[in-house]
Structure 1
Amino acid sequence: MRATRDISDRDDLDVLLRRFYGAAFEDPLIGPFFTEIAGTDLEVHLPRITDFWERALLRSAEYGRDAFAPHAALHSARPLTAAHFGRWVQLWHASVDGLHQGPLAERAKGQGERIAVAMLRRLAGPGTATGGGGGGFVPLAALALRSAA
């Protein structure tokens, strides 16, 4: 079944983020950052990250946290690379595409890409490769996440 409707509310974001983080936690490349290094408790993290995306996409929530600080702490423990952020983008795109289509879904994917590039540049320096030749983002691929559950 193909996604047919756009992201419309916080409930949609909750389902999307649970799907995304389920895949991210299990991913062999980025999963350890969530499970081993950060020890992320999804039930604690989810309301915060939903606030972030609700503000970014729906303009209807407050988010006053520093989104960079946790990533800087992770980077200090184990360097985050373009491949890590590329996998994040890959899983994010696939999660969005598996559930939604429309202007807000496209905005969510674009925003995710911009956030990944900004985080990578801030952590690794402005000259960091983010695409194209060696060291760039992992290319998007057809993933099981793209088929709606």
Structure 2
Amino acid sequence: MPVAAPALAGELRAAVIMAARRIRAERGSADLTDPQYSVLVHLEKRGPLTPGQLADIERIQPPSMTRTVNCLVEDGLVAKAAHPTDGRVVVVSLTEAGRTEVVETRHRRSQWLAAQLEGMTPDEQDRLADAVELLRRISQA
């Protein structure tokens, strides 16, 4: 008998949140906070951005982003430079150490998840493979 959509929604929401939290617990050697790592990922994907742009992307206030960026600068993971056309604006870019941190964190997270999948039966793995497409559809709605 199919599960009612509201009940399934609650169970799915809880399971996805718990899985995401567990995956995020796998970190690179810099042991960054989630917001700090998120900044590195945005810079890796989009290239240099201003702190204001990063704050908009993360939907946080600019002063909070400035503090996050300053911590990452202190750790050598990002660099700040003057904007090429507006000297009043700072541009934040990923350093090689920051890029290494992103790669290492992704690798650790994928490695942990792969280990969990290897402990499942082939049928369970097939069911999860089918669920991937469904989760993508939900996330793009």
What is the TM-score normalised by the length of structure 1?
0.30
Q: Which has the higher helix share?
A: 2
Structure whose CA Rg is larger: 2
Provide TM-score, normalisation by structure 2: 0.31
